[in-house]
Amino acid sequence: MDLLNTLVEKGLRRELPTREEALAVLATSDDDLLDVVAAAGKVRRHWFGRRVKLNYLVNLKSGLCPEDCSYCSQRLGSKAEILKYTWLKPDEASQAAAAGVAGGAKRVCLVASGRGPTDRDVDRVAQTIAAVKEQNEGVEVCACLGLLSDGQAERLRGAGADAYNHNLNTSEATYADITKTHTYADRVDTVQKAHAAGLSACSGLIAGMGERDEDLVDVVFSLRELDPDSVPVNFLIPFEGTPLAKEWNLTPQRCLRILAMARFVCPDIEVRIAGGREVHLRSMQPLALNIANSIFLGDYLTSEGQAGKDDLAMIADAGFEVEGTDQVTLPEHRVDAAAAADAAGCGSHGGGGCGPCGSAEPAAEAVDGAEAGTGADSNEARTDLVAVRRRGAGTDLAPNA
């Protein structure tokens, strides 16, 4: 297929595809799916080999969020029966992180629900970062605390954070359809603050909220312009008790096409399969490893994931290897560029997810699936695959790692 040959050539040159080419990937047929995966796989292997980076989530504070993000089980007014607890103590968070590191995780993502941290919260997270790094030599720590105020990114970096996650989630044009209590521009500002502070920026999207193909392309192109080091691709988990509980718009095939489009647009950036892979990719998860070079190990913030041992078996059976702490995730040219920018005092890049939503007016209804052009991919509801997390952080039960 000429389209795929062109996209591979562009990916190997780090050249941005056209919007029309990105849209064409999402419009390919199921008959062409393996060709799409194989083409994206060539780009993935060129920049990342057969390594898979493992990340592990620790939910520092669950629920009780004042934001109204329609997709989130922690939103104000959510009736989802999730775990709700206030801040974990640093030693509790460190113990939870150690389980993930023991399972092979290279990065620990410390996440807290809420609009954004207070300065006292930043102090609290700083103590947690210190505890995690003291107990787990060589581990990367990514903080995900919502919208940042001036100076907070610098304080997190000074405390030892390596990265900051804040997802754009959807296109600017449709952002107000999912959230009313903050704006798309607020999210962009926080990603730019992380960059400017010298933190490795992590920012991604959520697919399956009723968006059009054009919206998916818009948000991925916007992410490419922001130039994060990592792009988590989340697939909506339709929690009962949230406004998007009835949005079952994804099939495994569509998920693979979305991942492939993200890889072609972001060829040398870490593409991470994040929340919802078990729910929507299901038995086709191993195919996705040919496109993405990073996944979360075990459970997510409020939902259960695949057993950690099954994640490791899947990686090995698919012919991939877990990336070690002594291996550098990003290609050399991106590492060198970040170091040069940092030395110049202008942050981790020259330009310039995972976590919480960012009062309480209900969010607007999601775009209708038929209008969004997703009807052909309509998926049967698999509520049996959506399990609320009842173990790990915030409980007395051992975590899944």
* 10 in a structural domain: no
272 labelled catalytic: yes
Q: What percent of the chain has pLDDT over 70?
A: 91
pLDDT digit string, tens, across residues 172-228: 999 999 889 999 999 999 999 999 999 999 999 999 999 999 999 999 999 999 999
* 400 in a structural domain: no
The strand pair at 200-202 and 163-165 is best described as parallel
* 5 in a structural domain: no
Residue 375, pLDDT > 70, answer: no
Instruction: Give the 3-state DSSP-derived string for 182-199, with helices as H, strands as E and coil as C.
Output: CCHHHHHHHHHHHHHCCC
**Contact yes or no for 271/263 (Cβ under 8 A):** yes
202 labelled catalytic: yes
C-alpha to C-alpha distance for 337 and 349, rounded to whole angstroms: 7
Q: How many folded domains does the chain comprise?
A: 1
Could you say which DSSP state residue 364 is in?
Answer: P
Tell me which of 51, 65, 212, 354 is the catalytic residue: 65
Q: In which band, very low, low, confident or very high, does the pLDDT at 168 lie, cut at 50, 70 and 90? A: very high
Strand partners, 232: 272
Encoded tokens for 390? 């009842």
Tell me which of 44, 109, 124, 277 is the catalytic residue: 109
**3-class DSSP state of 150:** coil
pLDDT digit string, tens, across residues 212-230: 999 999 999 999 999 999 9
**Contact yes or no for 232/42 (Cβ under 8 A):** no
266 labelled catalytic: no
Nearest to 125 by CA among 306, 114, 290: 114
Tell me which of 124, 157, 187, 272 is the catalytic residue: 272
* 392 in a structural domain: no
Tell me which of 202, 266, 354, 357 is the catalytic residue: 202
pLDDT digit string, tens, across residues 105-121: 999 999 998 899 999 99
Tell me which of 44, 51, 69, 107 is the catalytic residue: 69
Tell me which of 44, 107, 124, 142 is the catalytic residue: 142
If you write DSSP's letter for every residue of 311-343 in order, what string do you get?
HHHHHHHTT-EEPPTTS-SS-HHHHHHHHHHHH
Question: Residue 191 is part of a domain; what is its CATH number?
Answer: 3.20.20.70
120 labelled catalytic: no
Encoded tokens for 104? 């092979």
Contacts for 291 with CB less than 8 Å, ≥ 6 apart: 37, 40, 41, 44, 256, 259, 260, 263, 271
According to the model, what pLDDT value does residue 365 have? 39
C-alpha to C-alpha distance for 33 and 56, rounded to whole angstroms: 30
Domain coverage including residue 91: 17-384
Encoded tokens for 282? 């299901």
Contacts for 204 with CB less than 8 Å, ≥ 6 apart: 167, 168, 169, 223, 228, 230, 231, 232, 233, 234, 272, 274, 353, 354
* 3 in a structural domain: no
* 200 in a structural domain: yes
Nearest to 261 by CA among 27, 14, 95, 85: 27
According to the model, what pLDDT value does residue 377 have? 53
Could you say which DSSP state residue 51 is in?
Answer: E
pLDDT digit string, tens, across residues 20-79: 999 999 999 999 999 999 999 999 999 999 999 999 999 999 878 888 887 877 776 777
